[in-house]
Chains A and B, each alone.
Chain A
Amino acid sequence: MYRILAKTTLTPVTTEYLIEAPEVAHQAKAGQFVVLRVHEQGERIPLTIADYDREAGTITVVAQEIGSSTLRLKSLEVGDSLASFTGPLGRPTEIEPDGTVILVGGGLGIAPIYPICRTLREAGNHVIAIIGARSGDLLFWEDKMRDVTDELIVVTDDGSYARKALVTEPLKELLDSGRKIDRVWGIGPAIMMKFVALTTKSYGVDTLVSLNSIMVDGTGMCGACRVAVGGRTFFACVDGPEFDGHQVDWDLLLSRQRFYVQEEQRALELYQQSLQQAEPEETSRS
């Protein structure tokens, strides 16, 4: 079960996985996520459902290698199986025929906005997407995104590819252009989502963000994923992950995301050591 059917390197730090999970694929909707364990002693990590194919019975996830679990995931080969894979979790994106919508995907955030764009478009919206990354080599899925949007704007922070800008710049231009924008989504690193929400606030445009707080079970049982929105506490895994970006307590989110950095660093070093000690054959394979 939960076999990896295909594995594609998207950028030097991101990998796409096609996973056999027919039941999850059957239920999955845009905006939801899964919680998986890479190996028996592994932690439970949440990853957004970046795509699903009900007929083929597959789920696509895209992971950025930032620590021991995501690196270990990358070390798996096609044909290997995950230790566990639970989903679909979280509330799906509420899809309404709003009119014109803008989806902003920063860095890894391109993956989660893809199914949302597709579903919004199928529901009859005019879909504009802004995707960006620090540099051109970190961008992915530009073609795929073009297929599910009416307008696609691509930017990089350093200008090494496409237009040199932060994602908030074209967003502000669109808002200033006088076009009626009904709703905005911002998905990516917390700091980027914070600035997307700040940008749209003075225009009074509804803005949804997908909060990536630290999770354990993903089913509302532990409260690790607590976030504050509009002065109230929510469990991001069951009440979200999407929330009103104008009401989120960003400082709290950012601070809670950092709580385990020391331990994460230690786990990473240990994992890297274990790789060095491993058979040379094995290291060359991965």
Chain B
Amino acid sequence: MTNRKPNQIPRQPMPAQPAEERRENFDEVAQGYTLEMAVSEAMRCLQCRNPRCIEGCPVQVRIPEFIQALRDNDMWEAVELLKDKNTLPAICGRVCPQESQCEAECIVGLRGEPVAIGRLERFVADWEQQEGVREPKPVTPREERVAVIGSGPASLTAAGDLAKMGYQVEILEALHEPGGVLVYGIPEFRLPKAVVAAEINYLEKLGVEIRLNVVIGKLYTLRELQEKYDAVFLGTGAGLPIMMNIPGENLNGVYSANELLTRVNLMKAFQFPEWDTPVRVGSKVAVVGAGNVAMDAARSSLRLGADEVHIVYRRSRKEVPARLEEVEHAEEEGIIFDFLTNPIEVLGNEEGVVSGLRCIRMELGEPDESGRQSPIPIKGSEFEMEMDTVIMALGTRPNPLVFSDAEGLERSRRGTVIADMDTGRTTLERVWAGGDIVTGSATVISAMGAGRVAASDIDAYLGGEEGQAWRIERATASA
């Protein structure tokens, strides 16, 4: 194998549970490379002098270097190199949309299939977790206290980085489990919760204090935190579900994707009645939307026992925003895609339960400002589908709960917090923000990157003149 030219080795396929089997369970679909597969895939990398892959990665992971370490069988070195830029590689390796990021730029991809960077990343990270994550190096503690609101990838990263710098970090999370979308949104079959738990465990080893069941805006306000802590990081994501506002949307059997996924993932409804929270999907399910959230809702419904699951999407196949792998997996599992179709009414029976979905066919019109062709309804093309569950996966907005008593915190018209992209600073003194709360729903890796940027700016602030001025102000106020 070694005497073959790197780009002649075919891309290693990912071992996966067969579609027929996995439709029935919540175990992870993609099972990860063996060492042999990983090394063989690593051989495909050309070790470019100007690696374009790095530019495709939102946090500039040192891709060729970690791949080289893997080839040299220097695994701990590979781990260090990877984690230098990405603190959650076991997660990103699984959920990053690689085909539009690092792998989109990979030079090998020009002539054939790109190097499977994400899968290698996952391999290295899983190896580390199996081996037992090394104890963090002791740090010199600093006295400043930082409150990190929320515990999604943005917050986990900010908290980890700050703890490594010696700050006293407290995570304040509204739910009873830390992890944000990683625990309540993305299903077990795509991101096992044990992987997330291991990352959180590591943060605790770093000395981060995690306080659960703390809803900011209710138990404490942002203003109170601003007074009590030296710095505040706001990473509460975009958790408010958008509904369609069509007739019948409040019928029983209409869920927001958030509700369905929260019941299933956070509350483990797929193990009802051993776990107390119920969930009910009927035999015919329509999921409206075609992002990652929609794929997750559709594939969860199948696993909960639905016979027929449709993705109803108003645009065409090429506009589907979900990760490629998820769309492929969904198709293999038998999910039906109804493109250029838009719901106009949810139909119900006498008991107030969903019985169908009334839709209209769409066609693509002229491209709009974003360059995408906007869908236009075709007159007279209305039709009905029989359904007993309808799941709305149309996107989310920041949950405004955290903004009560936060005057001075500027927000956009879409409800997102305005923060400087290079520092994470908001319009409130000593309050930083990052992740979905700033960008609207985006990706795990971009949230992570934002957490990292903010952590480094918090350190610059507290270590600089501004921090000095604040410490004097704080001391005089308490004197």
Contacts and interface: CB of A to CB of B under 8 A. Distances in A.
Are A and B genuine complex partners? yes
Interface in A223-278: 223-224, 226, 228, 233, 238, 251-252, 255-256, 258-260, 263-264, 266-267, 270
A44 B267 contact: yes
A124 interface: no
Interface in A54-108: 68-69, 83-89
Interface stretch (A164-172, A196-204, A213-221): A213-221
A221 B241 contact: yes
Contact of B276 (A68, A222, A223): A68
Contacts, number: 112
A87 B401 CA distance: 13
Contact of B219 (A84, A87, A238): A87
Chain B interface size, as a band, is 35 or more
A216 B264 CA distance: 11
A200 B240 CA distance: 35
Interface string B207-219: 0000011110011
B259 A223 contact: yes
A195 to B, nearest CB: 20
B268 interface: yes
A87 B252 CA distance: 27
Nearest to B185: A221
Interface residues of A, number: 41
Contact of B213 (A43, A68, A85, A255): A85
Interface string B250-285: 101101101100110001100011111110100000
Contacts of A37: 176
A68 B272 CA distance: 13
Is chain B's interface secondary structure helix, strand, loop, or mixed overall? loop
Q: Give the interface SS of chain A, mostly helix, strand, loop or mixed.
A: mixed
A76 B1 CA distance: 64
Nearest to A218: B215
B171 to A, nearest CB: 15
Nearest to B177: A84
Contact of A23 (B219, B239, B249, B351): B219
Given A83-B176, A263-B280, A238 B258 contact: no
B295 interface: no
Nearest to B399: A220
A108 to B, nearest CB: 21
Contact of B268 (A27, A41, A87, A224): A41
B250 A228 contact: yes
Contacts of A87: 215, 218-219
A35 to B, nearest CB: 9
A223 B256 CA distance: 6
A217 B262 contact: yes
Given A87-B218, A216-B267, A263 B401 contact: no
Contacts of B364: none
Contacts of A219: 174-175, 215, 218, 239, 399, 401
A264 B240 CA distance: 27
B37 interface: no
B213 A222 contact: no
A41 B219 contact: no
A42 B259 CA distance: 17
A153 B245 CA distance: 43
11 contacts: A23-B214, A41-B276, A43-B267, A84-B213, A86-B213, A219-B239, A222-B263, A233-B250, A256-B250, A256-B252, A256-B352
Interface of B: 174-176, 184, 212-215, 218-220, 239-241, 243, 245, 249-250, 252-253, 255-256, 258-259, 262-263, 267-268, 272-278, 280, 351-353, 399-401
